[in-house]
């Protein structure tokens, strides 16, 4: 994992989250902060940014 951070919805880093990357990466965006019941929404987002690890061994497939 590279980074986990929380931002106000009004300050969402669109270019950082949806912009181009140099290689395979993961961006996970979910709700965070306090829940504002008046507007039925959370006040912020939690963003996880992760990079692909080239030499990590893969797990064998599991039986169904």
Q: Tens of pLDDT along 17-51? A: 999 988 889 999 999 999 999 999 999 999 999 98
| Rama region for 11: left / alpha / beta (φ>0; ψ in -120 to 50; rest) | alpha
Q: How confident is the model at residue 54 (pLDDT cuts 50, 70, 90)?
A: confident
- pLDDT of res. 53: 79
What's the whole-model pTM score?
Answer: 0.74
Residue in the structure block whose two tokens are 């939690």: 46
Give domain limits for the chain: 3-51
């Amino acid at each position: 994992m590279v980074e986990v951070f929380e931002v106000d919805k009004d300050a969402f880093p669109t270019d950082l989250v949806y912009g181009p990357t140099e290689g395979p990466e993961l961006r996970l965006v979910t709700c965070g902060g306090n829940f504002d019941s008046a507007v039925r929404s959370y006040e912020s987002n939690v963003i996880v940014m992760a990079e692909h690890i080239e030499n990590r061994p893969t797990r064998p497939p599991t039986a169904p």
